[in-house]
A and B are shown apart, each in its own frame.
Chain A
């Protein structure tokens, strides 16, 4: 595989991993949400993300000329080979934590996917075109929850604030371009993440203010997901996610 193709493959797999890992985390809410409608909502969003991951993994498989199938890439790689952002893999926490993460990620994804629709790579652009429509209503919902919990009871407010405080140190990583991305940005394939920061901050801060929440004054920041350096929680998540394919290789639905 030549250098340019390898970079595209790395980029596509990172996109797939982001969606897969968040989708897996969201699916953990199945049958555990606060009430039935929420259960349906969370699992539907999970399904959107798993679907998004599938499209990216299938494209990755195509770029490898079928050397590995989409399932192989998702279910037979070890933790160190996953390239997702750390924020995606954090355990679901309480409902406020999950909604806080969803909101912070949805604001980013909506803008990112809207720009990625213009990618010079037709397949990437097509997947982004589907993703952007879904992110639009994901955000509508997570936005509403941030307002409702933030500007709700004393307890809901405290939980939402705590969730934001715990997540804040993982935000920087959203805006860091990998070496592969830097090269792909020049070709018009990828989007410069750094350029999205101001708009993201403005949107998030406006909602926090409306929800009577404060912008976390967190001083620490952590990155590493794109290099395969994950949190201690990741291995446990993968063990559950990959169990079936590891125990029964090649098993199909």
Chain B
């Protein structure tokens, strides 16, 4: 079975916005800011980074929080400041935008791939299809708990290799 990578319309829109931006260098710098709980994916991959504006030496970075109570958001904000400060942009403002609400459809295809390599099954929209075990690829998997180690994950187990794994929930 070949996996044809499908890019969601939502991600495509984000990507086009980034490509059209006049602040490409800053977007690229911000790729260094990772999700503190899943350090293999950046805030761009995660769909948290929405916009970058530069005006009269002041940079504003727009982010959308994932889950209401997610403690990682604070750390992400601090990391944005420190990455840009090190690149000699001292005047930075981080704006948190609630609407439209964050969705896993904003995640990048690269981010999904890296999640899988890291042992976390990426979010999938198709209802009724069995999740694939990120360890052995088997589709014989069962839900253990709707909630995992963080708000964004659920806990599954693989009935073939018998390993438990995290699933990045689709919202």
Contact = CB atoms under 8 A, between A and B. Distances in A.
Given A37-B144, A129-B99, A130-B98, A54 B68 contact: yes
Contacts of B147: 37, 40-41, 44-45, 141
Interface string B63-91: 00101111100000000000000000000
Give the bracket for the number of chain B residues in contact with chain A. Answer: 20 to 34
B23 interface: no
A4 interface: no
B67 A47 contact: yes
- Secondary structure call for the B interface: loop
Interface residues of A, number: 30
A133 B99 contact: no
A174 B102 CA distance: 28
A52 B100 CA distance: 16
Contacts of B102: 130
A49 B100 contact: no
B83 to A, nearest CB: 22
Interface stretch (A120-128, A163-171, A182-190, A218-226): A120-128
Q: Give 4 nearest A-B pairs by CB, closest first.
A: A51-B68, A51-B69, A37-B145, A47-B69
21 contacts: A37-B144, A37-B145, A38-B145, A40-B148, A41-B146, A44-B151, A47-B68, A48-B67, A48-B68, A48-B151, A51-B69, A52-B68, A54-B69, A55-B68, A122-B99, A129-B98, A129-B101, A130-B98, A130-B102, A137-B146, A141-B146
